[in-house]
Amino acid sequence: MIPVMEIFGPTIQGEGIVIGRKTMFVRTAGCDFRCSWCDSKFTWDGTMKDEIRMMTAEEIYGELRAAGGQSFNHVTLSGGNPALIKDLGQLIDLLHLEGCQVALETQGSKYQDWMNRIDQLTISPKPPSSTMNQDLDKLDDIISQLDTDKINLKVVVFEETDYQFAKKIHHCYPQLPFYIQVGNPYLDDSVDNHTEKLLHRYEALIDRVMADDEMNNVYVTPQLHTLLWSNQKGV
Ligand SMILES: C[S@@+](CC[C@H](N)C(=O)[O-])C[C@H]1O[C@@H](n2cnc3c(N)ncnc32)[C@H](O)[C@@H]1O
Ligand SMILES: Nc1nc2[nH]cc(C(=O)O)c2c(=O)[nH]1
Ligand code: SF4
Ligand SMILES: [Mg+2]
């Protein structure tokens, strides 16, 4: 069984290596981290615990089709930390059988043997501003068990210490595609539009990377969905 917090889409993947891709989302409940700026706290802080549903892979697939019809062939699994859930392998296999590609977002704290069956696996180690103390040996152990052609790294940056952390991670794994993503501090879920402020922060991060001759092989990205829809749920 899989603890599901929400199923939504089709929408665009707003982040990372498949940014812009038409995709459905399955968001699992529960996380082993507590990032200070987590934009999906409702997956772990108890405020929406009544909405968690224990579902089989078949039930999730049925709901994806009910929401998206035939209008998708890509599904993103996020959370919370979907890597906590052993049974997710059944959903990944079913989605593949049904002709869908599968992406997954995780922070690199847990390994599952289904990870090598993900088409685009994004690992997003947490920088100092998150207040998490990412175990870099564990991260290394996980990365060493994965196919390098399937994984990419994404580090969120709010401040200079985060930027230095991002650099360190990139230089540990120069062979992996590296995404540096601007942090969003505007986490209220009102429909207030924070686009202009977010674009300023994005531009500042671009300037930082452009001036740095040790960060040439990187992608600097915003959260596209956040520019469009702020931190609304379900988009
Ligand atoms: C909500 S997390 C869920 C998956 C997994 N727990 C993780 O952190 O990778 C999905 C992505 O959103 C990023 N994220 C979370 N809060 C953010 C924020 N306030 N600004 C920018 N990115 C954020 C995370 O770093 C991660 O890359
Ligand atoms: N559109 C959209 N793109 C996303 N990329 C990563 C997301 C996430 O919360 O993991 C996310 C999300 O919540 N919505
Ligand atoms: S690891 Fe991901 S889901 Fe968990 S608290 Fe951090 S950003 Fe949120
Ligand atoms: Mg999100």
Interhelix angle 57-68/88-97, rounded to 10 degrees, is 50
Is pTM, for the whole model, over 0.95? yes
For domain 2-229, give the CATH number: 3.20.20.70
pLDDT above 80 for 1: yes
Ligand 1 first shell, C-beta below 6 A: 31, 37-40, 78-79, 81, 105-107, 124, 154, 156, 181, 183-184, 223
- 126-135 pLDDT, tens digit each: 999 999 999 9
Ligand 3 first shell, C-beta below 6 A: 31, 33-35, 38, 40, 43, 79-81, 107
CA–CA gap between residue 208 and residue 160 (Å, rounded): 9
What does the pLDDT average to over 60-72?
98
- 121-157 pLDDT, tens digit each: 999 999 999 999 999 999 999 999 999 999 999 999 9
What percent of the chain has a predicted confidence (pLDDT) above 70?
Answer: 99
> Does the predicted interface ipTM exceed a cut of 0.90?
yes
Quote the pLDDT of residue 53.
98
- Ligand 2 mean position, distance from CA 172 (Å): 26
Quote the pLDDT of residue 189.
66
- Ligand 3 mean position, distance from CA 143 (Å): 19
Work out the end-to-end distance of the chain between its first and last CA atoms, rounded to an integer number of angstroms. Answer: 25
- 165-222 pLDDT, tens digit each: 999 999 999 999 999 999 999 998 666 789 999 999 999 999 999 999 999 999 999 9
Of residues 203, 216, 186, 105, the one with CA closest to residue 153: 105
Quote the pLDDT of residue 191.
63
- Ligand 4 mean position, distance from CA 213 (Å): 31
What does the pLDDT average to over 61-83?
98
